Chains A and B, each alone.
Chain A
Amino acid sequence: MATPNTPLWEVFIRSRNGLAHKHVGSLHASDATMALQAARDIYTRRGEGLSIWVVPSSAITASDPAEKGMMFEPAESKIYRHPTFYEVPEEVGHM
């Protein structure tokens, strides 16, 4: 149904308890205003959100799935980067 006149938008919603906007899906709309309204109508029908961002999908630069070996595998062997090797002083309490 999409035509060149209705570009794709990515939708981000901040929920009632959430601190950050989370990606929830995408939609087609002619411009930013209409995208925001469509996002409201499609993604907040059950009280999911208190704030909406819409971003043109074309503005996103994505990593290439074909390069995932080079991009992500080197990190898998470096478990010492996880913060489980520190001793937290008791006075700090919960972090």
Chain B
Amino acid sequence: MTISNIQVSETPLVLYTLRRADDALVLGHRLSEWCGHAPILEEDMALANMALDLLGQARELYSYAGKVEGKDNDEDKLAYLRDVRQYRNLLLVEQPNGDFARTMMRQFFYSAFADLYWRAMMKSGDATLAAIAAKSEKESAYHLRHSSEWIIRLGDGTAESHARAQGAIDHLWAFTGEMFAVDEAERSLIDKGIAIDPAGLRPLWLKTISGVLAEATLALPSNEWMQQGGRSGRHSEHLGHLLSELQYMQRTFPGLTW
């Protein structure tokens, strides 16, 4: 038995699918960290539900990435046997939970994007991605609604909750630009009608979040500078810690099942 990392042949479609799978897995894992720790029982369930939605999306995307690659890398290998530099998720989704406001703001920024993204991807020329999109869109729509309602209540709540929500925006804002970035590999898929151009979603995304934040009496930062790197494996220091917990069992006892 070996616990060395698998190597993945990242053709454009494999890489593209892997990136979305990593987004879903990492964000789902972050949400699962709340399990048993949420401020109220009702929200504990809500967070776990969202985590399970995302885990389901990740599984389908990993399976498809493995199938497209055609090298015996199944969903488990892709999730458990790639190191931090091989992960392709957005920096936004790996950011630590922080307080409840920060968790909800991260969810809000991502879900507002994912809802538009999956809806657009339902028209993908790739039948599998289009099918995954159709399922994911409904889940993302609910995540957006749930997080929006919380943002409104936190922002327009007490002085304490307002300050925490505004702090979360200021902290996370620089990680939102990466959602709309496109590199060469993705450009080729966009040209083929397999992927969609996320840049086209940004005005709608901005409109969605501006509306909610205005109702929440919260302000968007004027800061335009955006952090990038997750899509090519340059992550913040937080992802390595997340993966060490996520992958511990398979790294210690290779091939273990229960």
Contacts and interface: CB of A to CB of B under 8 A. Distances in A.
Contact of B42 (A33, A38, A45): A38
A45 B40 contact: no
Interface in A28-59: 28-30, 33-34, 37-38, 40-42, 45
Contacts of A6: 40
Interface residues of A, number: 14
B45 to A, nearest CB: 5
Contacts of B153: 30, 34
Interface string A12-40: 00000000000000011110011001101
A81 B126 CA distance: 66
13 contacts: A1-B40, A1-B41, A28-B40, A28-B41, A28-B42, A30-B153, A33-B149, A34-B153, A37-B145, A37-B146, A38-B43, A38-B46, A41-B46
B247 interface: no
Contact of A42 (B45, B142, B145): B45
Query: Would you call the interface of chain B mostly helix, strand, loop, or mixed?
Result: helix
Given A1-B40, A30-B153, 13 more contacts: A1-B41, A6-B40, A28-B40, A28-B41, A29-B42, A34-B153, A37-B145, A38-B45, A38-B46, A40-B142, A41-B49, A42-B45, A45-B45
A6 B42 CA distance: 11
Interface of B: 40-43, 45-46, 49, 142, 145-146, 149, 153
A39 B240 CA distance: 36
A41 B47 CA distance: 9
A75 to B, nearest CB: 38
Contacts of B40: 1, 6, 28
Contacts of B49: 41, 45
B181 to A, nearest CB: 32
Nearest to B52: A45
B41 A34 contact: no
Contacts of A38: 42-43, 45-46
B156 to A, nearest CB: 12
Nearest to A6: B40
Nearest to A41: B46
Contacts of B45: 38, 41-42, 45
Nearest to A43: B45
A33 B151 CA distance: 13
Contacts of B145: 37
A20 to B, nearest CB: 25
Nearest to B40: A1
Contacts of B41: 1, 28
Nearest to A33: B149
State the 9 A-B residue pairs at the shortest beta-carbon distance, nearest first. A38-B42, A41-B46, A41-B45, A42-B45, A41-B49, A27-B42, A1-B40, A37-B146, A33-B149
